[in-house]
Amino acid sequence: MNDSTKRVAIVGSGPAAFYSAMELLRHDDPMVSVDMLERLPTPYGLVRGGVAPDHEKIKSVTKIFERAAGHPRFRFFGNVEFGKDIQRLELLQRYHAVIYAFGSRTDRHLNIIGETLQRSHAATEFVGWYNGHPDYRHHQFDLTSKRVAIIGMGNVAIDCARILCQDPENLAKTDIAQHALEALRQSQVEEVFLIGRRGPVQAAFTPAEVRELLHLPKVDAVMRASDLELDDHSKEELSKASRNTKLNMEILQQIHDQGDRGNPRKLHLCFLISPTKIEGSERVEGLELVHNEIVKEGGILKAKATDEVMHLNVDMVFRSIGYMGEAIPGLPFDDRRGTIPNEHGQLLGEVDGKLLNQEYTAGWIKRGPSGVIGTNKQDAMETVSRLKQNWQTNQTQEPKFVQHDLLDFLKEKKIQFVSFEDWKKLDKFEIEQGQQKRKSRQKICEVQEMLDLIQSN
pLDDT > 70: percent of the chain: 99
- CATH number of the domain encompassing residue 218: 3.50.50.60
Number of structural domains in the chain: 2
119 contacts: CB under 8 Å, gap ≥ 6:
142, 145, 283, 284, 315, 316, 317
Identify whether residues 70 and 113 lie together within a single domain.
Answer: no
Task: Give CA–CA dist 379/381, Å, rounded.
Answer: 5
Tell me the pTM.
Answer: 0.94
Average pLDDT of the chain, as a whole number: 95
Residue 3: pLDDT band with limits 50, 70, 90: low
Identify whether residues 75 and 114 lie together within a single domain.
Answer: no
- CATH number of the domain encompassing residue 333: 3.40.50.720
Identify whether residues 134 and 215 lie together within a single domain.
Answer: yes
- Asked, for residue 72, whether it belongs to a domain, the answer is yes
Specify the long-range contacts of residues 355-358, CB closer than 8 Å, at least 24 apart: 357/390, 357/395, 357/396, 357/397, 358/92, 358/95, 358/96, 358/97, 358/98, 358/396, 358/397
Identify whether residues 131 and 230 lie together within a single domain.
Answer: yes
Q: What is the pLDDT of residues 38-66, one digit of tens each?
A: 999 999 999 999 999 999 999 999 999 99
Q: What is the pLDDT of residues 390-414, one digit of tens each?
A: 999 887 778 877 677 999 999 999 9
Identify whether residues 84 and 123 lie together within a single domain.
Answer: no
Final residue before a domain boundary, out of 263, 296, 320: 320
Q: What is the pLDDT of residues 276-328, one digit of tens each?
A: 999 999 999 999 999 999 999 998 999 999 999 999 999 999 999 999 999 98
- Asked, for residue 274, whether it belongs to a domain, the answer is yes
Identify whether residues 283 and 388 lie together within a single domain.
Answer: no
Identify whether residues 142 and 209 lie together within a single domain.
Answer: yes
- Asked, for residue 453, whether it belongs to a domain, the answer is no
Determine the structural domain holding residue 191 and report its residue range.
108-320
- Residue 118: count other Cβ atoms within 10 Å of its Cβ: 13
Residue 2: pLDDT band with limits 50, 70, 90: low
- Asked, for residue 414, whether it belongs to a domain, the answer is yes
- Asked, for residue 444, whether it belongs to a domain, the answer is no
Q: What is the pLDDT of residues 122-150, one digit of tens each?
A: 999 999 999 999 999 999 999 999 999 99
Identify whether residues 184 and 276 lie together within a single domain.
Answer: yes
- Residue 36: count other Cβ atoms within 10 Å of its Cβ: 26
Final residue before a domain boundary, out of 302, 320, 338: 320
User: Is residue 323 exposed (0-12), middle (13-18) or buried (19+ Cβ within 10 Å)?
Assistant: buried
Residue 350 confidence (pLDDT)? 83
Final residue before a domain boundary, out of 292, 320, 348: 320
Identify whether residues 70 and 194 lie together within a single domain.
Answer: no
Q: What is the pLDDT of residues 162-211, one digit of tens each?
A: 999 999 999 999 999 999 999 999 999 999 999 999 999 999 999 999 99
Residue 353: pLDDT band with limits 50, 70, 90: confident
Identify whether residues 96 and 52 lie together within a single domain.
Answer: yes
- Asked, for residue 379, whether it belongs to a domain, the answer is yes
Identify whether residues 204 and 313 lie together within a single domain.
Answer: yes
Residue 30: asked if its preceding bond is cis (omega within 30°), the reply is yes
- Asked, for residue 60, whether it belongs to a domain, the answer is yes
Identify whether residues 259 and 217 lie together within a single domain.
Answer: yes
- Asked, for residue 443, whether it belongs to a domain, the answer is no
| Residue 207 near residue 372 (C-beta atoms within 8 A) | no
